[in-house]
Copies of this chain bind each other. A is one copy, B any other.
Amino acid sequence: MAQLPNRDTHFADWYQEVIYQAELVDQAPVRGCFVIRPYGYAIWEMIQAELDRRIKETGHENAAFPLLIPESFLKKEAEHVEGFAPELAVVTHAGGKLLEEPLVVRPTSETIIHYMFARWIKSWRDLPLKINQWGNVVRWEMRPRAFLRTTEFFWQEGHTAHETLEEADAEVIMMLEQYRIMYEDYLAVPVVPGPKSAGEKFPGADRTMTLEALMPDGRALQCCTSHLISRDFARAFEMKFQTRDGNVEYPYLTSWGFTTRSIGALIMTHGDAKGLILPPRIAPIQVIIVPIVKEGADNEAIIVAARDLALELANRGMRVMLDEDTNKTPGAKFYHWEMKGVPVRIEIGPRDVAQQQAVLVDRLTSTKQMMPLSEIPASMIAVLKKLQVDMLEKAREHTKKIWYRQEKLAEFAKQLEEKSGFYQTGWCGKPACEQKLKEHKVSIRCLLGEKTFSTCFNCDAKSETDVLVAKSY
Contact = CB atoms under 8 A, between A and B. Distances in A.
Interface residues of A, number: 57
A35 B63 contact: yes
A68 B26 contact: no
Interface in A55-91: 61-70, 73, 85-91
A311 interface: no
Contact of A30 (B34, B42, B68): B68
Which of A62, A89, A152 has its CB near the most chain B CB atoms (within 10 A)?
A89
Contacts of A142: 95
A86 B95 contact: yes
A37 interface: yes
Counted per complex, copies of this chain come to: 2
A91 B105 contact: yes
Nearest to A33: B66
Contacts of A125: 327
A38 B67 contact: no
Contacts of A44: 64
Contacts of A96: 85-86, 88, 140
A138 interface: yes
A358 B433 CA distance: 70
A89 B94 contact: yes
A30 B61 contact: no
B64 A138 contact: no
A29 interface: yes
B116 A103 contact: no
Given A70-B29, A95-B86, A96-B86, A36 B64 contact: yes
Contact of A62 (B42, B92, B131): B42
Given A91-B89, A92-B90, A68 B116 contact: no
Nearest to A327: B125
Contact of A65 (B28, B40, B105): B28
A66 B116 contact: no
A232 to B, nearest CB: 19
Interface in A325-352: 327
Contact of A69 (B30, B87, B120): B30
A34 to B, nearest CB: 8
A133 to B, nearest CB: 9
Interface string A216-246: 0000000000000000000000000000000
Contact of A94 (B34, B40, B95, B140): B140
B86 A68 contact: no
Given A28-B116, A30-B103, A95-B87, A41 B62 contact: yes
Given A38-B63, A91-B105, 16 more contacts: A35-B63, A38-B61, A38-B62, A67-B136, A67-B152, A68-B138, A68-B151, A85-B96, A88-B93, A90-B92, A91-B91, A92-B92, A93-B102, A105-B105, A135-B136, A136-B136
13 contacts: A26-B119, A29-B70, A30-B66, A30-B103, A35-B66, A37-B63, A68-B151, A85-B96, A86-B96, A88-B96, A91-B91, A92-B92, A96-B140
